[in-house]
């Protein structure tokens, strides 16, 4: 029988070794460009992070990023591919079109596709908009936020309120229409706006797995910190792709 003090030491040592390895691997990862119009269809694959796991360390710890990306997002992929495996007529359907036709899918796979294709789309967006240094938006995004929300400060206040108000699991997102007009929405679970034909400019995941290791039940603290790791340059690219109707998730 292992002495309980030795067990604690061994577990602590293992955790420290894992964290050290994760930091080393993350620090070697360079920021990569994102193909916002990449075709996303069966068989789906977890998109690689465009930065290291530790890129958001000031707000989201590397372990949470690794678990969220490699485990939670991977589960969406596995479940979605399993649901579509025996439906070859859906294999060439792009992700956003698959979500748009959720209500007409065979009943046996409808809920699985809704949840996991939604999770796939939402998380793909989520990885893309982070890895930056926060600050304030620039260019067309800044101008449009001022036009549609009054100011960036007003948007942040409204966004954090919407995200705090999500009961249980879900998302807060800024949507954009074809004319570039922005709006704010909170969605439960993995309900993706693409199901309703809406494009997402950026959004935050308020499922507990997105923040619990670092913040426990302090969701408002997580929401405040998250603004500090947004990449406004990449969000600007998402805005341009959305206006051109080439945004795939």
* DSSP assigned state of 60: S
H runs (alpha helix) in 68-205: 74-84, 95-100, 107-129, 139-149, 152-164
What does the alpha-carbon distance between residue 75 and residue 112 come to, in Å, rounded to a whole number? Answer: 12
What does the alpha-carbon distance between residue 178 and residue 56 come to, in Å, rounded to a whole number? Answer: 31
Q: Which residue's entry shows tokens 């408002």? A: 220
Q: Are 113 and 98 spatial neighbours (Cβ–Cβ below 8 Å)?
A: yes
What does the alpha-carbon distance between residue 111 and residue 208 come to, in Å, rounded to a whole number? Answer: 22
Spell out the domains of the chain, with CATH numbers in brackets: 61-249 (3.55.40.20)
Tens of pLDDT along the chain (249 residues) come to 445 444 443 434 444 444 444 443 444 456 788 999 999 999 999 999 999 999 999 899 999 999 999 999 999 999 999 999 999 999 999 999 999 999 999 999 999 999 999 999 999 999 999 999 999 999 999 999 999 999 999 999 999 999 999 999 999 999 999 899 999 999 999 999 999 999 999 999 999 999 999 999 999 999 999 999 999 999 999 999 999 999 999
Helix (H, G, I), strand (E, B) or coil at 200: strand
Structure tokens at 213: 């290791």
């Amino acid at each position: 029988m292992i002495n309980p003090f030795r067990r604690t030491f061994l577990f602590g040592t293992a955790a420290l070794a894992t964290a050290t390895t994760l930091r080393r691997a993350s620090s070697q990862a360079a920021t990569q460009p994102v193909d916002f119009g990449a075709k996303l269809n069966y068989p789906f694959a977890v998109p690689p992070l465009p930065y290291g796991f530790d890129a958001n360390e000031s707000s989201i710890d590397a372990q949470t990023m690794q678990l969220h990306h490699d485990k939670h997002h991977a589960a969406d992929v596995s479940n979605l591919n399993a649901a579509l495996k025996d439906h070859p007529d859906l294999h060439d359907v792009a992700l956003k079109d698959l979500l748009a036709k959720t209500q007409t899918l065979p009943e046996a796979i409808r809920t699985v596709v809704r949840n996991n294709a939604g999770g796939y789309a939402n998380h793909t967006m989520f990885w893309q908009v982070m890895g930056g240094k926060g600050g304030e938006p620039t260019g067309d995004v800044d101008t449009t936020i001022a036009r549609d929300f009054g100011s960036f400060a007003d948007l942040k206040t409204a966004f954090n309120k919407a995200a705090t108000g999500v009961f249980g699991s879900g998302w807060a997102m800024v949507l954009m229409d074809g004319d570039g007009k922005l709006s704010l929405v909170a969605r439960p679970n993995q309900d993706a706006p693409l199901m309703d034909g809406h494009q997402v400019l950026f959004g935050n995941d308020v499922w507990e797995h997105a923040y619990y290791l670092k913040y426990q039940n302090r969701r408002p603290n997580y929401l405040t910190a998250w603004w500090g790791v947004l990449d406004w340059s990449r969000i600007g690219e998402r805005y341009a792709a959305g206006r051109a109707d080439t945004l795939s998730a």
